[in-house]
């Protein structure tokens, strides 16, 4: 899918000399270690998939790529555009979050983010769009380095963050870049932010430890000292190309301004809305306005005593303008039923609908926590929100895991009950399409669990700090780290299945249905007169292994796994919110206002109070919520294991 879009974009660009714009929608952030409560560096990104006909539903796999030796002449080949690059003789182990649609020549790998065994972490990329004048002088290369292959080029060989940036620069100089992109790379000592500006031009800067940044799909770097080789890595001709392109722009002091020279004249609306929302959420007292001509990249909180937490990062990636008191409404809510009407009486002005950080197209959200007190080989933790960030829990994994849980690996293109991604996707779909029933109860459920995750992870970190100066012992600990992560993943995934089933029962009690098998099909799929039985995946098979009892970590309440997952034959139409993924949306160019698409309406809901209340709990033997981190808590401790689906709006 991505490969097809990419090829079309490149062809049009070559013919029309227009910049690529495929309704890109990722958004990244960085928080320096001096601004966090625990002294760790935080960075991450939402990965959006707004591409018709599968917008917002695109399976991802979280996996470990084993270390491997290669012979001379072996090459990495990017199936998305034909890019090739020589393999290193010996490549390191690393984690990656790949597209499931890879390996068959139709898509590309899109590893997106990960840790390697040297402790280097990377998030690649937030797509950015070079301007027309620059591309006429230094065009993108159709077979150059693209997002699809970037992680697999860098992480197997870079032993430091600086080395990763230098390698990226070398590859871009030699092979060219297929896209404009922004990239973040970190190790325990440094964090680097890089803007790939055109076919062969780039600038990377070491991130100040006392700053934070929010960046959507455009360029943000202003003036930097290109002579500062300690803190800046840049292509030799970055100023020269801008001048020769006739687009050399300066700041108010007359200094070379990178973003103005290489980026668009003004921010696209979706870039502005997410950047503004992210900054004002992290810094409510900020003096910025929505109409500002540009947003400074590296920022200081207005309150000099402000310290950020993991939960602040999660909240930003989930943000749907809640903090703006009704000024904006997520544009995936156009036409959605509101308080029982059919959407026809929507009182929201069209100019209030904006593209949110926690939008309908997010397929992967991640927060990297780089803790310098951990052993180097651990790297840190990735808090993985695989699926739609608005209703998906963030789960911690050390960077040195040797394997990942089986539910992260199914390469299925449509709903699969054995898949982590498809399960949390379905939970999100039920929550967002039935807000009159669920309100914010699903997200609140995950938030409570995350409090316990954070507390448990802090205990594990303290245990592992002692290995900081013992590299052999740290290496030996990988087996235990992996075992713990697999057992935690198993318990959590079974909780997902229980929770999914309870939500389905709640909808049934309200006279509604949810058919994830049909809803996960492409938007342009035509329903046959006779149902196509082969398209429906088989329910998971119960095995002795699946029914084994696993002794959980402290504070967890385990219950036997439940695998009785029904496959509903009928249900709601799919993707009614994702108009960014509709066929009639402009793919190239940056429209100031997204085109509204007629929405498919679901049947008029029953009054929630008429339905039986479904309890999701371990209370009194209920085989659900095996983690039990729910409503009644005492500052994250002594959870009472009670949760009900109620309208909490």
Q: Is the pLDDT of residue 571 over 70?
A: no
Rounded to whole angstroms, the Cα distance separating 471 from 378 reads 10
Classify 379 in phi/psi space as left (phi over 0), alpha (psi -120 to 50) or beta. left
**pLDDT per position as a tens digit, 153-165:** 999 999 999 999 9
| Cα-to-chain-centroid distance, residue 296 | 23
363: left (phi over 0), alpha (psi -120 to 50) or beta: alpha
Q: Given pLDDT bands bounded at 50, 70 and 90, which one contains residue 555?
A: very low
Residues 6+ apart with CB under 8 A from 630: 445, 448, 449, 616, 617, 639, 640, 641, 642, 643
Could you give the percent of the chain with pLDDT greater than 70?
76
pTM of the model: 0.82
**Three-state secondary-structure class, residue 337:** coil
Percentage helix, strand, coil, to 5, in the chain? 30, 15, 55
The two structure tokens encoding residue 324: 């703006």
| Assigned token pair, 326 | 């009704």
Q: Give the per-residue pLDDT at 346.
A: 72
Whether the link from the prior residue into 125 is cis, omega within 30° of 0, is yes
Q: What is the pLDDT of residue 334?
A: 86
* Number of other CB atoms surrounding residue 417 within 10 Å: 22
pLDDT of residue 337: 58
Q: Rounded to an integer, what distance in angstroms lies between the CA atom of residue 65 and that of residue 91?
A: 10
**Strands (E) located in 284-323:** none
Question: What pLDDT, in 10s, does the model give residues 155-203?
Answer: 999 999 999 999 999 999 999 999 999 999 999 999 999 999 999 999 9
Q: Check residue 531 and give left, alpha or beta (phi > 0: left; psi -120 to 50: alpha).
A: beta
Q: What is the mean pLDDT of residues 144-150?
A: 98
Phi, psi (rounded to 5 degrees) for 364 = -160, 130
Q: Are 231 and 205 in contact (CB under 8 A)?
A: yes
- pLDDT (average), residues 78-96: 97
pLDDT at 335: 75
- State the Cα–Cα distance between residues 579 and 592, nearest whole angstrom: 15
pLDDT at 541: 44
pLDDT band at 512 (very low <50, low <70, confident <90, very high): very high
pLDDT of residue 341: 57
Tens-digit pLDDT profile for residues 260-291: 999 999 999 999 999 999 999 999 999 999 99
Q: What is the predicted pLDDT for the residue at 343? A: 59
Angle at 419 between CA 414 and CA 421, to 5 degrees: 80
What's the sign of the alpha-carbon dihedral 36, 39, 41, 47? negative
Upper half-sphere CA count for residue 131 (Cβ side, 13 Å): 21
Tens of pLDDT, residues 465-497: 999 999 999 999 999 999 999 999 999 999 999
| Tokens describing residue 147 | 């997002």
Task: Give 55's DSSP letter.
Answer: T
Query: Between 561 and 308, whose confidence is greater?
Result: 308
Mean pLDDT of 518-524: 95
pLDDT for 15 equals: 31
Sequence-distant (6+) residues with CB within 8 A of 616 are: 445, 498, 499, 502, 622, 624, 625, 630, 643, 644, 645
Average pLDDT over residues 593-597: 30
Are 134 and 247 within 8 A, CB to CB? yes
Q: Is pLDDT of 453 > 50?
A: yes
Maximal C-alpha separation, the chain: 74
User: Are β-strands 329-330 and 353-354 bridged in parallel, bridged antiparallel, or unpaired?
Assistant: parallel
| pLDDT-above-90 percentage for the chain | 73
Distance of alpha carbon 438 from alpha carbon 608, whole angstroms: 9
- Determine which of 5-14, 65-74, 572-581 has the lowest per-residue pLDDT on average: 572-581
Q: Of 241, 233, 163, 229, whose CA–CA distance to 200 is shortest?
A: 241
- Residue 382: name the closest of 43, 38, 33 by CA: 43
Q: Which H, E and C letters describe 526-588, residue by residue?
A: CCCCCCCHHHCCCCCCCCCCCCCCCCCCCCCCCCCCCCCCCCCCCCCCCCCCCHHHCCCCCCC
Residues carrying an active site annotation: 26
Query: What does each C-alpha distance from 172 to 26, 146, 182, 259, 360 come to in angstroms?
Result: 22, 10, 13, 19, 33
In angstroms, how far is the first alpha carbon of the chain from the final one?
Answer: 37
What is the helix (H) or strand (E) element at residue 6, kind and residue range? helix 2-16
Distance CA 170, CA 176 (A): 9
Residues 39-57 have pLDDT tens digits of 999 999 999 999 999 999 9
- CB atoms inside a 10 Å sphere around CB 629: 25
**What value does the mean pLDDT take over residues 133-137?**
98
Please state the length of the chain.
649
- Tell me the pLDDT of the chain averaged across its residues: 83
Task: Give the number of other Cβ atoms within 10 Å of residue 22's Cβ.
Answer: 18
Three-state secondary structure readout of 437-475: HHCCHHHHHHHHHHHHHHHHHHHHHHHHHCCCCCHHHHH
Residues in Cβ contact with 438 at an 8 Å cutoff, skipping those fewer than 6 apart: 430, 431, 503, 506, 645, 647
């Amino acid at each position: 899918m991505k490969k097809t879009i990419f090829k079309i974009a490149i062809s049009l660009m070559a013919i029309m000399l227009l910049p690529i714009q495929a309704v890109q929608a990722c958004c990244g952030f960085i928080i320096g270690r001096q601004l966090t409560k625990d002294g760790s560096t935080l960075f991450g990104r939402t990965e959006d998939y707004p591409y018709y006909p599968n917008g917002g539903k695109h399976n991802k796999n979280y996996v470990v790529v084993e270390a491997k030796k290669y012979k001379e002449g072996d090459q990495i080949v990017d199936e998305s555009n034909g890019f090739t690059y020589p393999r290193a003789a010996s490549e390191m182990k690393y984690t990656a979050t790949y597209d499931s649609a890879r390996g068959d020549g139709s898509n590309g790998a899109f590893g997106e983010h990960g840790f390697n065994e040297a402790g280097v972490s990377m998030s690649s990329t937030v797509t950015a769009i070079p301007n027309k004048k620059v591309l006429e002088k230094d065009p993108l290369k159709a077979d150059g380095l693209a997002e699809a292959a970037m992680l697999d080029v860098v992480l197997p060989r870079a032993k430091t963050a600086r080395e990763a940036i230098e390698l990226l620069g070398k590859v871009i100089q030699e092979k060219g870049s297929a896209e404009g992109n922004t990239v973040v790379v970190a190790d325990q000592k440094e964090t680097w932010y890089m803007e790939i500006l055109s076919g062969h031009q780039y600038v990377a800067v070491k991130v100040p430890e006392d700053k934070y940044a929010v960046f959507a799909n455009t360029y943000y770097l202003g003036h930097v000292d290109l002579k500062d080789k300690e803190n800046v890595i840049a292509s030799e001709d970055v100023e020269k190309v801008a001048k020769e392109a006739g687009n050399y722009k300066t700041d108010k002091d007359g200094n070379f301004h990178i973003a103005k020279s290489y980026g668009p004249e003004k921010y696209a609306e979706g870039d502005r809305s997410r950047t503004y929302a992210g900054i004002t959420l992290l810094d409510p007292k900020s003096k910025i306005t929505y109409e500002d001509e540009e947003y400074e990249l590296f920022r200081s909180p207005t309150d000099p005593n402000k310290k950020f937490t993991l939960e602040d990062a999660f909240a930003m990636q989930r943000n749907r303008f809640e903090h703006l008191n009704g000024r904006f409404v997520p544009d995936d809510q156009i036409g959605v039923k509101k308080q029982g009407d059919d959407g026809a009486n929507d009182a929201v002005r069209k100019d209030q609908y904006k593209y949110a950080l926690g939008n309908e197209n997010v397929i992967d959200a991640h927060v990297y926590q780089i803790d310098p007190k951990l052993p180097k080989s651990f790297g840190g933790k990735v808090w993985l929100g695989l699926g739609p960030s608005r209703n998906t829990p963030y789960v911690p994994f050390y960077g040195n895991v040797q394997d990942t849980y089986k539910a992260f690996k199914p390469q299925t293109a449509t709903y699969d009950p054995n898949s982590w991604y498809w399960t949390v996707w379905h939970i999100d779909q039920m929550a967002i399409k039935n807000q009159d029933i669920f309100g914010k109860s699903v997200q609140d459920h995950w938030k409570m669990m995350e409090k316990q995750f954070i507390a448990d992870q802090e205990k594990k970190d303290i245990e592992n700090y002692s290995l900081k100066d013992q590299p052999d012992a740290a290496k030996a600990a990988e087996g235990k780290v992996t075992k713990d992560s697999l057992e935690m993943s198993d318990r959590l995934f079974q909780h997902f299945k229980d929770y999914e089933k309870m939500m389905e029962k709640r909808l049934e009690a309200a006279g509604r249905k949810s058919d994830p098998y049909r809803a996960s099909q492409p938007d342009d799929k035509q329903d046959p007169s006779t149902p196509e039985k082969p398209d429906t995946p088989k329910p998971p098979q119960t095995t002795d292994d699946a029914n084994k009892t696993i002794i959980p970590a402290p504070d967890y309440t385990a219950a036997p796994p439940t695998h009785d997952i029904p496959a509903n034959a009928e249900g709601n139409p799919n993707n009614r919110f994702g108009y960014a993924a509709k066929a009639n949306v402009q793919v190239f160019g940056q429209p100031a206002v997204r085109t509204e698409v007629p929405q498919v309406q679901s049947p008029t809901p029953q009054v929630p109070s008429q339905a039986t209340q479904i309890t999701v709990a371990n209370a009194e033997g209920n085989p659900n919520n095996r983690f039990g981190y729910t409503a009644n808590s005492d500052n994250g401790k002594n959870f009472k294991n009670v949760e009900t689906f109620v309208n909490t709006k």
